[in-house]
Every structure is written in C-alpha cells, then in structure tokens.
Amino acid sequence: MNAHRRIHTEEDVYTCGICEESFSSECGRTRHKNIHTDTYKCTECGKCFGSSYHLARHRQSHSGEKPFECSVCSKRFARAEHLDRHSRIHSGEKPYTCHMCNKAFSKSGHLKAHMRVHTGEKPHKCHMCSKAFSESGNLNVHMRVHTGDKPHKCHMCDKTFSQSGHLSAHIRVHTGKKPYKCSLCDKSFSHSSSLQSHKRQVHSNRRPYHCPYCRTTFQTDSHLKRHVRIHTGAKLCSCRHCSECFTRLYLLKTHLLKSHNEGT
C-alpha cells in the first residue's frame, strides 16, 4: 500500500546509483538498472531494457508484426496500449492533467515530462560528461556522441545516422519530398529550418542578428557569421592541395579551378 500511495504523491525515494534517476519502488529501481547492463539487450539495435517482457515487446518493432487495428482509420499497431493511446487522437481524450497549470495530456509519459518544466528537474545524467536531460530518450540519443553509434541506416544508400529524425530528413534527398509548405507563397521545402529561413528572408523585415563590430543587422545567423569575417579577417575556407585560405567559399572554388584545375 505504501508503495502504491507513492504513485499518487509522486514521491520517488529509490535512486539509481548510475544515472541518479529516482523511483517510487525498489523493484522499479532494480528493473531500471538492467538498462545500464547487457542483461536484456536487443540483438538487432543494441537497445537495453529493464526486463525480458519489455525486450520481447520491443522485438515486435523489428519483426513488423502489427496485430492491433484502429477501427476509425485502420492504422495498425504492434501493442494494444499503443492502439489505446492512438485512439485518443480520434476521441480527443486527454485524461492526464497537470495539477500546477491544468494543462492536459493524452499520455501519462507526456505529463511526467511536462512536470519537469515546473520543477526544472533533469534526472538523466551522462556518466561521460556533465550533461543532464529531462527525458531518458534524450540521454540515449546524446550517448551516441560518445559511442559513435549510428543505428539508423538509409535503405536507399549506405549512409547511417545517430537519430531517426536525421534519417527521415535524409530520405527526402532520394524521394524529393517537400512537406514543409510556406503559408504565404507556393514554395515548399524538405526541411523545416529551410522554411523558417525562407520566411525570414522573403516575407519578413525582421533582422534580429546584430554585428558586434558595427551596426549592420541580418536576417539569419549564417549571414551574420559570414559578415563578421570582414572584421576578424578569419579565413575558414582552406585549400586541401596547398596552404591557401579564403574568407569566402566562392573564392576557394575560384582558386581550386585556376590553381589546381579542380571543378571543371
């Protein structure tokens, strides 16, 4: 009963000695510690889990088996709880409410992550550097900076990526898909950052980036950085054939063509 009460009070008294994440029960902490070992490790992607049940459930994502179908849109899922969670998209149900700001969520995990906005808590700490994260998924992605792991592979070429989002963006190189459409004109872009840059340069008069050396302002950070080289004299574009360096990429390309016959 005491362990159950902590679910309602959100009191976490059992702390992992490796990443310092806290749990409301000792069995929860014990199960969590398996994530830091290879006890329940997926042989397909290397991800570790706290129990054999969670590992077996994860393996369904590799098998492609999706026995649970949505009665509204026919979308299929590997797990029943994923179907239940998906159904809230159609019903609009948000049963999890923040007691501090009354914001409602369709998933309990989203509520728990949201609570850290109020508390500022970052329980997931990297044991190789000083970085801390509010969500374990962000820590897992960050760890690939240290390990060099790139589990997401393009099925159309040999490129690999550390994040699924980077792979999704890369796939558009092959498909030519441009899902980000400008609401002010008929242009479309393959990346959201390209759309935002387009809006700033074409549809906005805002120039929020200020040069620290003069009063010139710019619409993009990249334009500001390029301008600052006028003041600093930094030559970041270096020739791979000789010791020449240039402040602009086009100057380097001109040099490569004239001096090394490259680029014809």
Q: Which residue has the higher pLDDT, 253 or 204?
A: 253
pLDDT at 7: 59
**CA-based radius of gyration for the chain:** 25
Is 250's pLDDT higher than 80?
yes
Set out the domains of the chain in order of their start, with CATH numbers. 1-65 (3.30.160.60)
pLDDT at 95: 87
Is 176's pLDDT higher than 60?
yes
Residue 195 is classified by DSSP as H
Task: Please state which of the ranges 19-28, 86-95, 144-153, 222-231 shows the lowest mean pLDDT.
Answer: 19-28
Dump the DSSP string for 17-49.
Answer: TTT--EESSHHHHHHHHGGGSSTTB-TTT--B-
pLDDT digits (tens, 9 = 90+) for 61-87: 787 788 889 998 989 888 888 888 888
Q: Average pLDDT, stretch 174-183?
A: 88
